Amino acid sequence: MSSFEYNQAPLRVVFGSGTLAKVPAELHRLKVSKPLILCTPEQTFQAEKIEEVVKSGEGITPAGVFPKATMHTPGHITDEALEFLKSSGADSLVSIGGGSTTGLGKALAVRTGLPHLSVPTTYAGSEMTPILGETVGGEKRTRSDPKILPTAVIYDVDLTMTLPSGLSATSGVNAIAHSVEGLYAQNGNPIMSLMALEGIRSLAASLPTVVATPSDVHTRSQALYGAWLCGAVLGNVGMALHHKLCHTLGGSFNLPHAETHTIVLPHALAYNAPAIPEVMHKLADALPGSDGDAIHGLNILLTKLKVKRGLKEFGMKEEDVDKAAEIATRNPYWNPRDIEKDKIREVIRRCWAGEEARADL
């Protein structure tokens, strides 16, 4: 076995059904009493639910709700939230929602040092990582710092029951992408590979049922479990081409996060396939119906989930392909296969057009 390093992040996780009621106990554990609640404009009803739960805790008074969390964590929103936080006298943060809200919570926590309790409602996995992506000046930049990692996470399966089928699908594939890159990460290790494959299996098996029968509690639980594992993988290993492309496309062209990950994943994997034969074999085993071909397995899964496959369906223009290729190759992340600009351009073009992935580059 090759040598490796493994670090265990100090993160507390509470998983189950009805666990939202444990928010006051977790705040007491953190020894805080005045949390600022964060959400997107579309999720104020969930923030209000959290607010009521928090009020039920002895000696805890919410500092208010900041309902403007936005996709890709734009700098001006973080600045506004920071001013709101300072004026509220908050001593902690509670974020409820998907990656947008979690990202804002991370941005505020790393700037203030306040404890951050994350309550995810999607399968994005951001709550398990010390990684923060922020958009400033039209470009999304990422950084990693242990202080970015939320202090604790409460997974409540009940909160995912109303997640629309389409968003469940793309959010779940977004999570799978975290583990796929974890399998060939430069700083990967056997522990993360075990978690990655288990997370992929759980999501690939459960997502088609989640989409077909959204009210199935068992498969919702299986999907959330898989997402937790995939998020933990991303939080412990580095990123490569897939995430670089998604950060470029999302931050520079304002494309939706989960949908972009869903579209890019099979194409980025196809590009890297020649350099990672052992990973491709393991991944194929984790994907139902793959017939030994991981790319085929992903194509089958995306077909079952009935997701959109082209970035042009989300507003990206064909003339943006060249600009995206330029940005994506300017400061590339480490990748198992050398980055060749003309071939990366073709990967992006296929993502834009919505073609099925194929390993011919």
Q: Which of 106, 125, 160 is the last residue of a domain?
A: 160
Residue 225, in any domain of the structure: yes
Residue 6, in any domain of the structure: no
Residue 238, in any domain of the structure: yes
Same domain, 30 and 85: yes
Q: Which amino acid is at 142?
A: T
Q: Which of 103, 137, 160 is the last residue of a domain?
A: 160
Q: How confident is the model at residue 1 (pLDDT cuts 50, 70, 90)?
A: low
Distance CA 178, CA 180 (A): 6
Q: What angle do CA 83, 33, 228 make, to 5 degrees?
A: 85
Residue 214, in any domain of the structure: yes
Same domain, 52 and 35: yes
Distance set, CA 85 to CA 111, 127, 179, 309 (Å):
11, 20, 34, 39
The CATH number covering residue 64 comes to 3.40.50.1970
Is the Cβ–Cβ distance between 223 and 170 less than 8 Å?
no
Same domain, 19 and 65: yes
Residue 186, in any domain of the structure: yes
Task: Look up the pTM and report it.
Answer: 0.90
For 6, counting Cβ atoms within 10 Å of its Cβ (0-12 exposed, 13-18 middle, 19+ buried), the class is exposed
Q: How confident is the model at residue 114 (pLDDT cuts 50, 70, 90)?
A: very high
The CATH number covering residue 265 comes to 1.20.1090.10
Reported as a single tens digit per residue, the pLDDT across 212-234 is 999 999 999 999 999 999 999 99
Q: Which of 160, 187, 214 is the last residue of a domain?
A: 160
Least confident of 137-146, 173-182, 196-205, 320-329: 137-146
Q: Which amino acid is at 108?
A: L
Distance CA 134, CA 99 (A): 12
Reported as a single tens digit per residue, the pLDDT across 62-109 is 999 999 999 889 999 999 999 999 999 999 999 999 999 999 999 999
Same domain, 200 and 220: yes
Q: Rounding to the nearest 10 degrees, give the CA dihedral for residues 327, 331, 334, 339.
A: 60
Same domain, 114 and 145: yes
Q: What angle do CA 168, 119, 224 make, to 5 degrees?
A: 40
pLDDT of residue 44: 93
Same domain, 345 and 206: yes
Structural domain count of the chain: 2
Domain span at residue 59? 12-160
pLDDT of residue 139: 81
Same domain, 180 and 120: no
Distance CA 247, CA 144 (A): 14
Same domain, 169 and 146: no
Same domain, 279 and 326: yes
pLDDT of residue 3: 80
Residue 44, in any domain of the structure: yes
Same domain, 46 and 195: no
Same domain, 133 and 203: no
Residue 360, in any domain of the structure: no
Find the largest Cα–Cα distance for the chain. Answer: 62
Same domain, 64 and 88: yes
Residue 358, in any domain of the structure: no
